[in-house]
Amino acid sequence: MSFKDKKFHILSVDDTETNRLVIEKMLRSEGFKVTSASNGMDAIALLSDVITPDLILLDIMMPEVNGYETCRIIKNAGKRMAEIPVIFLSAMNDLKDITNGFEVGGVDYITKPFQKVELLARINTHLKLKHYQDKEIELTQRELIYTIARITDVHSSETGNHIKRVSEYAKLLASLAGYDEEQAEVFKLAAAMHDIGKIGIPHEILNKPGKLTDEEYIKMKEHPAIGHKILSESQRPLLRAAAIVAYEHHEKFDGSGYPRGLKGKEIHILGRITALVDVFDALDTPRPYKQRWMINDTLQHIQKESGRHFDPRLVQLLVKNFKHFRKIRDNFPD
Ligand SMILES: [Fe+2]
Ligand SMILES: [Fe+2]
């Protein structure tokens, strides 16, 4: 979403009711969504599990926990909370007070009584900074993921747009299963890395034209564990999700899959979704050794495997909505 179209959410923390009302009114009239808190602890409670605003306006002189202390707690909390920019809004205008505000992690300090234009200009500046920073990180992350996935593709001579389709299918299926846009996006990017472990499998095995020997097949089956090992070193949520996908995309709903023989809901939803869309795409596209299946055969096969290879609920969603999956295939042909 572009900066202009986004409705930003601001948390305003002030112990004086009139101040809260003035700020709320002013920001709402500018199109912001506003939540108010009357003290530091309430603000932290809201931030912990109710809201993730885009910016915090923080008063300093408040009973019990003052603004500095509140800011310190916010900045030492998890990444989600710590990354929200904090602007101090205070009647204290000593250099010492202002310095202190920056030292505890504030991005700006505005003295009360404030000028409306000034406050709005500074809020906008910090929102913009944060917005473009986030965007840049997100884009870099996304491109790196596809770059890594393409390396595996080249190594295993995977054809065309398999990775792109599998990720789009995973996103679509996640949305159909009730996940919100942000979560579905995680499914999409994580699914792109499902076969990353193939990087550890010899090229000759991956590209052998004929049937694999038992020994080669055992080797091949190591790719989920290898992928998991590569990805699980990271603490980032997206890579952790990808590690699950890599590990579990060959598990089967009835427990007959590999590497761990997980069963039913023991298999993470990320694994269950990727397992289904990976096979769906494999059947639905031609490979060097086989023609593309007719769509009815593909759907029939998937239904036959409902409860065996695949999660029945997901099969139902895919079959019911296969026209939307079709559209994705048309957008990413080989
Ligand atoms: Fe795989
Ligand atoms: Fe695949």
Look at residue 295 and tell me if it is in a domain. yes
Interval 266-275 mean pLDDT: 98
Buried b (16+ CB within 10 A) or exposed e, 148-176: bbeebbebbebeebbbbbbbbbbbbbbbb
Interval 120-141 mean pLDDT: 92
191 and 49, same structural domain?
no
Ligand nearest to the CA of 162: 2
Tell me how far CA of residue 11 lies from CA of 24, 105, 109, in angstroms: 9, 16, 16
Instruction: Give the phi and the psi of residue 156 in degrees, each rounded to 5.
Output: -100, 10
What's the gap in Å between 326 CA and the centre of ligand 1? 22
126 and 33, same structural domain?
yes
Look at residue 99 and tell me if it is in a domain. yes
231 and 96, same structural domain?
no
207, burial (CB in 10 Å: exposed 0-12, middle 13-18, buried 19+): exposed
Look at residue 142 and tell me if it is in a domain. no
178 and 236, same structural domain?
yes
Structural domain ending residue among the three candidates 66, 97, 131: 131
Give 287's pLDDT tier (boundaries 50, 70, 90): low
Q: Is the pLDDT of residue 288 over 70?
A: no
CA–CA dist 274, 246 (Å, integer)? 9
Are 193 and 242 within 8 A, CB to CB?
yes
Q: Is the pLDDT of residue 45 over 90?
A: yes
pLDDT tens digits, 208-246:
888 899 999 999 999 999 999 999 988 888 899 999 999
Mean pLDDT of the chain: 92
* pTM score, whole prediction: 0.73
Tell me how far CA of residue 270 lies from CA of 89, 114, 119, 258, in angstroms: 44, 49, 44, 15
What CATH number does residue 217 fall under?
A: 1.10.3210.10
Structural domain ending residue among the three candidates 131, 148, 175: 131
pLDDT computed for residue 38 by the predictor: 95
| Structural domain boundaries enclosing 226 | 156-331
What CATH number does residue 36 fall under?
A: 3.40.50.2300
Interval 170-183 mean pLDDT: 95
313 and 198, same structural domain?
yes
What's the gap in Å between 58 CA and the centre of ligand 2? 49
174 and 318, same structural domain?
yes
210 and 83, same structural domain?
no
160 and 123, same structural domain?
no
300 and 160, same structural domain?
yes
Residue 171 bears catalytic tag: no
Look at residue 197 and tell me if it is in a domain. yes
What's the gap in Å between 176 CA and the centre of ligand 1? 23
25 and 116, same structural domain?
yes
Look at residue 143 and tell me if it is in a domain. no
Are 259 and 204 within 8 A, CB to CB?
no
Ligand nearest to the CA of 166: 2
Ligand nearest to the CA of 192: 2
Look at residue 136 and tell me if it is in a domain. no
Q: Is the pLDDT of residue 149 over 80?
A: yes
Q: Which of 164, 188, 198, 252 is catalytic?
A: 198
What's the gap in Å between 115 CA and the centre of ligand 1? 60
243 and 190, same structural domain?
yes
Look at residue 148 and tell me if it is in a domain. no
172 and 299, same structural domain?
yes
CA–CA dist 118, 301 (Å, integer)? 64
Residue 212, both tokens: 């694999």
What's the gap in Å between 224 CA and the centre of ligand 1? 7
**Domains: count for the chain:** 2
pLDDT tens digits, 297-328:
889 999 999 999 999 999 999 999 999 999 99
pLDDT computed for residue 215 by the predictor: 95
Look at residue 314 and tell me if it is in a domain. yes
CA–CA dist 197, 95 (Å, integer)? 56
